[in-house]
Structure 1
Amino acid sequence: MPLAFAVALAVLLKHFLGSLAWAALLAVITWPLHERLLKRGWSRAASAATLLAAIIVSFVAPTIFLFNTLSHEVATVERLLGQFNNTGLPAPEWLARLPVVAKPAMEWWQTHLAVPGGLNTFLQGVAGGLLPHLTSTVGKLGPTILANALYLFLSLLTLFVLYLEGPAVVTYVDHAGQRLIPKYYGVLRRLLPLSVRGTALGLCSVAVLEGIVLGIAYAIAGAPAPAILGVITGYLALIPGGAPLSFTSVSLLLLGQGHAGAALGLFSWGAFELFLVDKFVRPKLIGHRVNLPFLAVLFGLLGGVSTLGVLGLFIGPFMMAVLFWWLRGGKADAVHEIAVPDKGDKQAA
């Protein structure tokens, strides 16, 4: 009966399980901070509002800054395109050095882009061909953005309620867990915050590291505004595939400016640094909290991301921690063999 009810409840809330999961993860990650504020005499409402505002600002402020920067860059590009359209866009030197296709490529460029007004004609033709696809994409994108905005609002609202009613929620969850899985609930309750906070620590530490290291690499390679690009890279590194997208885009920008050597060097360094970070640094940081082997963390991260997306980054290591608890004896006191608590965890326990 309880299992059937749980399945029915999951089906009922299937569109909102992601929002609930994100709220729960953020609550687990930030709960030690909430406890510290409460011990300093803050009310639950004040602590909840402060932490929620900090979370919103930490993600919204960089987004506004990024869009503001991009708006200036777009205006610069528009001016350059207008200038090239009036005077004609000269063919780049590397085009004449291409093997086999150099001659026809140069002839096409001189006919279509090197003449005044040619760039405008070319862009209109490309836009006309892409317009049906863009219209279809925008038509699908609008409802998706609204749905994601609703899910984000529900996640933040749920997180605020969890801050306010934390003890009551913990009591309900404890009663449910002890009734459904009395033998294993204590272990799961101990491992979940450790693995989730370890994953969050690993992700944030790696994001900061990649933002600094690649920002320095951008400066050495001669990329424009390396500090801004480093900050953008750091935030993109929080999501899977964000860092390679960032340094690949900067490499293509340098290549388009004619700096082929710098572009190749930056891309090679970014790929090497990403390999080291993703295969060694990140698993080590995440596995330290729950004393997991390197391969266990690595496969937990890769399997979680490939199956569940970003949420899998947290669920994968947690499931690996449960697996190794079972392999190490599966006893209630065996959790101490794989858990490495710190002060924050003791306060939240």
Structure 2
Amino acid sequence: MSHLPRSLLPLLFAGALLFLLNNFLPSLAWAGLLATVTWPLHQRLVKRGFGTRASAAILVVALIACFAIPSALLLNTLRTEIVTVVQVFQTYNQTGLPPPDWLARLPVIADAAQTWWHKTLAVPGGLNALLKSTVGDLAPQITSRAGAFGSTFLANLLYLFLAMLTLFILYLEADTVVRYVDGAGLRLAPQQYPMLRQIFPLSVRGTALGLCSVAVLEGVVLGVAYKIAGAPAPALLGVITGYMALIPGGAPLSFTLVSLLLLGQGNSGAALGLFSWGAFELFLVDKFLRPQLIGSRVDLPFLAVLFGLLGGVSTLGIIGLFVGPFLMAVLFAWLRDGQAVLEPAAPSAEVAKLAEVRRVE
């Protein structure tokens, strides 16, 4: 009991520090995740003759380019597509938008829907009047959100800068950081820490590989499918689908909405074909590719990967995509090894090796 205050003091200090850095924890977390994912590349560059600083600078610049270049392409594509949408809007506003054929086949409300369409959208200037009435009701909300957009954008830029700066320092001071983390882990959980230390980088790298590769694949494949099906702005929709595919359930939502858009335009065959192809492609990706890329490194079953991703992103946001599979990997390691993991009979060789950290300090 006399040692209780001394043991609680580090925990109280850590809690106070977390509270102090609450707004910057996402930047620190992203820096740690990116460092874990790219660490093999950093070591490879150093072994090929690049200095530590040069390797760190190359990787940080490459990561910034990976964020900036797709964003610039997306904004450029969006600008082009907006011009096209505006031109189409002006054309239909001048001539009136004729009702689609499927409107007459709606059950129960077909007559009312056709009457509303002819009075509102089929007349010249109808689109403009509808837009004004709708935007007029939403104008206060749009104005308030637009006013907050600038500060939010600047805050995100600051968080990105801090994440990249922290990542650069982690590359330079990796040995010191690892020594401190190993020392703290051995003090808190001397028998379980080696398992956690092995599982964490494997699960993080597997998750990053699975999410990014699947997102790129689905963005490209479904973007081509959008083009074949005749969807408007297929490149833009493909990029949006790729970003949405990072989140479980995002890709099916994307191609379902595009299928409904094609159905609304009267292209029922293209809509059915796109939805069928998207469902087939999604089955292959979610059943075979994604679990294999994420779960194979830490030997996780499909449902564990799926619920780890869903639970993580619903609770912690994007960072939860990495935390969820890691916690699942720890859980299944404990379930497989049982008491051998929780209470090993004798210190393992890895524990003895890591214990050298405490003697060095």
| 1:98 positional shift | 2.3
Verify: 1:39 aligned to 2:47, yes or no: yes
Which sits farther off after the overlay, 234-243 or 192-201?
Answer: 234-243
| 1:27 positional shift | 0.2
Trace 1:85-100 onto structure 2 (pairs within 5 A). 85-100=93-108
Aligned residue type for 2:325: P
Q: Report the Cα distance in structure 2 between the residues aligned to 1:134 and 1:230, rounded to whole angstroms.
A: 27
Distance 1:241 1:138, change over 3 A: farther
Deviations 1:85-127 (A, max 9, x none): 2222222222233233222322222222222222222211111
| 1:311 maps to which of 311, 314, 319 | 319
Verify: 1:124 aligned to 2:132, yes or no: yes
| 1:68 maps to which of 56, 73, 76 | 76
Q: What secondary structure is seen at the aligned counterpart in 2 of 1:16? A: helix
Aligned residue type for 2:254: S
Deviations 1:114-172 (A, max 9, x none): 22222222211111111122223334444433333322221111111111222222222
Q: What secondary structure is seen at the aligned counterpart in 1 of 2:124? A: coil
Verify: 1:134 aligned to 2:164, yes or no: no
Which sits farther off after the overlay, 281-290 or 324-333?
Answer: 324-333
Number of equivalenced pairs: 335
**2:74–2:239 contact (8 Å) kept in structure 1:** no
| 1:17 maps to which of 25, 36, 45 | 25
Aligned residue type for 2:121: L
Deviations 1:276-296 (A, max 9, x none): 433543223211111223333
Query: Please, which runs of 5 or more residues in structure 1 have no aligned partner?
Result: 336-349
Aligned residue type for 1:162: L
TM-score of the aligned structures, taking structure 2 as reference length: 0.84
| 2:206 maps to which of 184, 187, 198 | 198
Cα root mean square deviation, aligned? 2.4
Which sits farther off after the overlay, 316-325 or 137-146?
Answer: 137-146
Verify: 1:325 aligned to 2:339, yes or no: no
Q: Report the Cα distance in structure 2 between the residues aligned to 1:5 and 1:202, rounded to whole angstroms.
A: 37
**1:211–1:231 contact (8 Å) kept in structure 2:** yes
| 1:207 maps to which of 209, 215, 221 | 215
Q: Report the Cα distance in structure 2 between the residues aligned to 1:278 and 1:197, rounded to whole angstroms.
A: 18
Aligned residue type for 2:311: G
Query: Please, which runs of 5 or more residues in structure 2 have no aligned partner?
Result: 1-8, 351-361
Aligned residue type for 2:319: L
Verify: 1:29 aligned to 2:37, yes or no: yes
Which sits farther off after the overlay, 60-69 or 302-311?
Answer: 302-311
**1:287–1:294 contact (8 Å) kept in structure 2:** yes
Distance 1:241 1:325, change over 3 A: closer
| 1:226 positional shift | 4.4
Verify: 1:160 aligned to 2:130, yes or no: no
Aligned residue type for 1:93: D
| 1:10 positional shift | 1.3
Q: Report the Cα distance in structure 1 between the residues aligned to 2:181 and 2:206, rounded to whole angstroms.
A: 22
Identity over the aligned pairs, expressed in percent? 67
